[in-house]
Homo-oligomer: A and B are copies of this chain.
């Protein structure tokens, strides 16, 4: 009997901590509350960095921090405890360990772990940034989860081509910064003191950010700078073209689930 009660409580807890099924108000409230708490944590981290606000409300931030860690810790424990209800993680020990190794569970752990490690206490504030990754949960619920998953799927399909683009960007970066170093080092030994520093210029130019803190001034340096800036356009055109084709492909894949406009039969996916 007690075991039956224990089982049904665990099943209910599992339902609540998982993405809410239709009509399950309590689970829905839980999902929304956790997301809200994550967002509040991010907001607290941002506003606490403002000296004026930190001085005025320092203790409130500390209290909120403690409360958040307690809630996130309990939530994590509930997830680990109840995950065995999921057939994939049914084994009481190995199932739970496998569940704890899933990316979402790892992120949940990292979001609270720094608080319990005294030797990193001094860097605690910085590590709270890990909590923003918990926002990945948002991709599982809400109105925009479909669109987010579409974006993710398109980027995933084109992953190899996008990585190739980054690879080309890196090669260009090294060539550009080496050439620029040899062109400008003698004229501006401070601005172009070494190739790694010239790389900073090359990144800001190839991405067309163009801060203007490091600049070529020699004729040959400006000529090469012009060529690199124009190649920077190509560094935009490649990934944009790749993703554009990816979105067209995605669009056509969806269309193909409809019937053939010629013969009325359903088309194979």
CA distance A217 to B12 in the complex (A): 52
Q: Is A261 part of the binding interface, using a Cβ–Cβ cutoff of 8 Å?
A: yes
Chain A residues within 8 Å of chain B by Cβ, number: 87
Q: Is A203 an interface residue (CB 8 A)?
A: yes
Distance between Cα atoms of A72 and B203 in the complex (Å): 30
Which of A19-27, A59-67, A86-94, A241-249 faces chain B? Answer: A241-249
Residues on B with C-beta less than 8 A from A213 are 212, 215
Number of identical monomers bound together in the oligomeric complex: 4
Cβ-defined partner of A163 (8 Å) among B147, B171, B175, B243: B147
**Cβ contacts under 8 Å, A151 to chain B:** 161, 164-165, 168, 238
Does A194 lie within 8 Å of B146, measured CB to CB? no
State the CA gap A151–B234 with chains docked (Å): 12
Query: Which of B46, B229, B251 has a CB less than 8 Å from the CB of A196?
Result: B46
Q: Known contacts A163-B144, A211-B210; is A242 also within 8 Å of B232 by CB?
A: no
Q: Which of B129, B143, B209 contacts A205 (CB 8 A)?
A: B209
A51 interfacial by beta-carbon distance below 8 Å? yes
> If A171-B135, A204-B210 touch, does A241 touch B247 (CB 8 Å cutoff)?
yes
- Measured between beta carbons, the chain B residues less than 8 angstroms from A225 are 200, 203
Q: Give the distance in Å from the alpha carbon of A238 to the alpha carbon of B150 in the complex.
A: 11
Docked Cα-Cα span, A267 to B148, in Å, equals 33
Residue ID in chain B nearest A234 by CB atoms: B239
Minimum C-beta distance from A206 to chain B (A): 9
Within 8 A of B (CB), among A121-138: 125-126, 129, 132, 135
- Bound complex: CA A196 to CA B246 (Å): 35
Q: Give bound CA distance, A256 to B238, whole Å.
A: 23
> When the two chains form their complex, are residues B174 and A42 in contact, meaning their CB atoms are under 8 A apart?
yes
**Residue with the greatest number of chain B CB neighbours at <10 A, chosen from A50, A171, A208:** A208
- Bound complex: CA A250 to CA B195 (Å): 38
CB<8 Å pairs between A and B, sample of 25:
A49-B181, A49-B195, A125-B182, A126-B182, A148-B167, A150-B161, A150-B164, A151-B168, A154-B241, A204-B210, A208-B209, A210-B212, A211-B212, A233-B235, A236-B236, A237-B240, A237-B242, A240-B240, A241-B244, A241-B246, A245-B247, A245-B251, A248-B248, A260-B261, A262-B262
Known contacts A248-B248, A249-B251; 11 further A-B pairs (Cβ under 8 A)? A129-B179, A135-B171, A166-B230, A208-B208, A210-B212, A212-B212, A237-B239, A241-B246, A244-B244, A256-B261, A260-B262
